[in-house]
Amino acid sequence: MIEPVLSLSGLSKSFGALKVTDSVDLDLYPGEIHALIGPNGAGKSSLIKLVAGELAADAGAIRFDGHDIGELDQPARARLGLTRTFQVSSLIPEFSARGNVMFAAQARRRSVFGFIGQVNKDPQLIGEAEQALDRVGLSARSGVRVSELSHGEKRLLEIAMALAMRPRIFLMDEPMAGLGQEGSSKLIGFLDKLRTQAPILLIEHDMDAVFQLADRISVLVAGKIIARGKADDIRNDPEVRAAYLGEDAA
């Protein structure tokens, strides 16, 4: 029997009186893209932060490769390969694309506070960075400063940085945001292949992307999973249409 790489059970989190994660169960299997959708404020980002260790859960369990990782902090989870894609805001604008990926690869080696001069000359890090940039199709932009990259290129660079962390799973929070049609369809093609390297827990508002990519979809409303299934099941679920797609349940 295939075991899930990631398994959440009874996961709960409140901010004061606001229950943002309400006894959530969720599994992520090898090779799978599992999309998490739901209206604004449903608690999607909070759930990813709980998994990545950026927020501490109030109750419930997070198992990764069969081990309970609830007590591990964010850097310890990152070292296990539980990687959240970087946000554009965390890119270093004055570094080249390659420099940013090298920085991510360096972070994986737990020496994030080493000297940048040394990082720049490390042939292994340079090789890893070039390889990751090649995977996302940014090789030709390797030496270009981040501040000169387009928005779409920055999103690809975030994924190259995540690749350099050698993830066991990807946690992606709205990777399509701000991309035009061409950028989105490129990224969809890329993510479709990426799932074979590591499964993806994908938060995304772009429903075309979700319906194209997701093997399974979980619908989160007010911190609770209200439905789960394949794309067609979710598209046709009256409760989902009412709660999320804004249609009458009739």
Ligand X SMILES: Nc1ncnc2c1ncn2[C@@H]1O[C@H](COP(=O)(O)OP(=O)(O)OP(=O)(O)O)[C@@H](O)[C@H]1O
Which residues sit at the interface with ligand X, rule CB under 6 A?
15, 18, 20, 38, 40-46
Give the shortest CB-55-to-ligand X separation in angstroms.
Answer: 8
Give the shortest CB-135-to-ligand X separation in angstroms.
Answer: 27
Give the shortest CB-133-to-ligand X separation in angstroms.
Answer: 29
Of residues 1 and 17, the one with the C-beta less far from ligand X = 17
Of residues 38 and 199, the one with the C-beta less far from ligand X = 38
Of residues 21 and 83, the one with the C-beta less far from ligand X = 21
Of residues 100 and 218, the one with the C-beta less far from ligand X = 218
Give the shortest CB-40-to-ligand X separation in angstroms.
Answer: 3
Of residues 20 and 146, the one with the C-beta less far from ligand X = 20
Give the shortest CB-142-to-ligand X separation in angstroms.
Answer: 32
Of residues 87 and 150, the one with the C-beta less far from ligand X = 87
Give the shortest CB-6-to-ligand X separation in angstroms.
Answer: 18
Q: Report CA-CA distances (Å) from 217 to 6, 94, 104, 195.
A: 15, 38, 30, 15
Of residues 4 and 38, the one with the C-beta less far from ligand X = 38
Give the shortest CB-85-to-ligand X separation in angstroms.
Answer: 15
The 3-class SS string of the chain reads CCCCCEEEEEEEEEECCEEEEEEEEEEECCCCEEEEECCCCCCHHHHHHHHHCCCCCCEEEEEECCEECCCCCHHHHHHHCEEECCCHHHCCCCCEHHHHHHHHHHHHCCCCCCCHHHHHHCHHHHHHHHHHHHHCCCHHHCCCEHHHCCHHHHHHHHHHHHHHCCCCEEEEECCCCCCCHHHHHHHHHHHHHHCCCCCEEEECCCHHHHHHHCCEEEEEECCEEEEEECHHHHHCCHHHHHHCCCCCCC
The 3-class SS string of 132-167 reads HHHHCCCHHHCCCEHHHCCHHHHHHHHHHHHHHCCC
